[in-house]
Structure 1
């Protein structure tokens, strides 16, 4: 269950052993009060991938999460292994296990770092500066501890199915532990499906069953600016399946893309 903490909790998780983590109220999902939002989960698993057999000569540039069921808001065990070691290419796998069942599986590709600045190109245009758009209250549309932990600045020209926004949080990933810019960045990306929603969540269900992130540049935060930029587009097909595609930004410009496959159905 959610850790016995007050609303003054400053982290999404508390480490309870070398491989176990207790969630705080800030992980609470939007669909059910007793589940975790995928946002903090993805950040925690990125943290685990990065800190397992670290390779400063390789960069973690693709992370694919498979959501294998409801992510209960209970203590979890996180297991990580290198499944494909290599000199210039390496794959890892992380698993979040809750109640003896794997709830989320993440695979990550590490690729060799090299100087390709002379041939770099093709990036999308940057988003307007984070302070361009006003602070936005989305509590009438979405609820839950995780959503409450975020600060949203949304483009006023956004509409159902298409949204541009900057997100940030003051909440740490794991209590008392430093985490990388990449881990903190990934903890906010899953919100893309929510901000690009085509219909109200009180009328339709459209959870994503996966999240895949591709980074052509590792996200970096300025010391006083930890905002994540999202340019999200949601497509709902005619047979109960949808897709949310998002271009990802830090304050310096675009860093990659995210894809989320959705199961779409009317609220029973």
Structure 2
């Protein structure tokens, strides 16, 4: 069973594997973010064709999470805000029962050969085989958390490196890119090295922004993650994102920290 089953041209039914961590019966938003990226890429390929030389690459994914969504059928709508031959800004919206739940704005850029300039100041992390298996269901409930495999090195509360993969397809019986599948795992970072016990403190994220410099390769997604809580109820989960070749970008989540409102 996949995270979503396509029921119409723009409609998808969530399955039990998207069950949320904070509230029973609501979706963990991670797979929905991947679904929106899949919709953006499908729209791009429909408009531009599937020739590699015409395919713009996703550079930034900026998701605003407007509320919770039940484990139910959702609609996805895509529109181009800034068309262009070399640069485009595309918006995708996840809707349930007429209400927008998540809005994605994605920058797509024309690829060029910059192999001679390639380099990074971001540090690589050891691969998944050098991390110990860790069971996230010891901290979190929900179908999505139960569907993933995690290997982790915990440095301190709120600080860890870890690798995540899932055997569950994003959309049943549909070809999905490695980027969309990876985007469907990014939101998990906020719960993999907690700074506070989620049974006593809630810290859901209201957004996620990822900047990418390469298309991900392989099933494993690596994270070098640090969590910060401020003194006034604001928080941040920041990650350097990896595949097994090295760092491929960053991801940040803005948190609303709520003592006394845990699981």
Contact 1:71 1:104 in 2 (8 A): no
CA distance in 1, matches of 2:89, 2:56: 11
Poorly superposed stretches of 4+, deviation over 6 Å? none
Measure, in 2, the Cα distance between the counterparts of 1:182 and 1:53.
Answer: 14
Counterpart residue number, 1:16: 7
Is contact 2:15-2:72 (8 Å) kept? no
Q: Is the 8 A contact 2:44 2:55 kept in 1?
A: no
Matching residue of 1:7? none
Q: 1:124-179 deviations in whole A, cap 9, x for unaligned?
A: 22211211112111212111000000001001x43211111010100000000010
Q: Which structure features the higher share of helix residues?
A: 2
C-alpha deviation, 1:219, in angstroms = 0.8
Distance 1:178 1:33 in 2: 29
Supply the distance in 1 between the matched residues of 2:259 and 2:25 (Cα, whole angstroms). Answer: 21
Q: How does 1:236-251 map to 2 (within 5 A)?
A: 236-251=229-244
Quick one: distance in 2 between partners of 1:123 and 1:215? 14
TM-score (norm 2): 0.94
With normalisation by structure 1, the TM-score equals 0.92
Measure how far apart 1:29 and its partner are. Answer: 0.7
* Conserved? CA contact 1:61–1:218, under 8 Å: no
- Equivalent residue for 1:153, pick from 131, 151, 154: 151
**What does residue 118 of structure 1 align with?**
116
Q: Please state if 1:144 is matched with 2:137.
A: no
Count residues with an aligned counterpart: 254
Query: For residue 260 of structure 1, what is the aligned residue in structure 2?
Result: 253
CA contact (8 A) 2:220 2:244 kept: yes
Name which of 213, 217, 228 aligns with 2:214.
217
Aligned residue number for residue 51 of structure 2: none
Instruction: Return the alpha-carbon distance in structure 2 between the equivalents of residues 97 and 69 of structure 1.
Output: 11
1:230–1:249 Cα contact (<8 Å) kept: yes
The offset of 1:235, in angstroms, is 0.7
Alpha-carbon RMSD across the aligned residues, in angstroms, is: 1.1
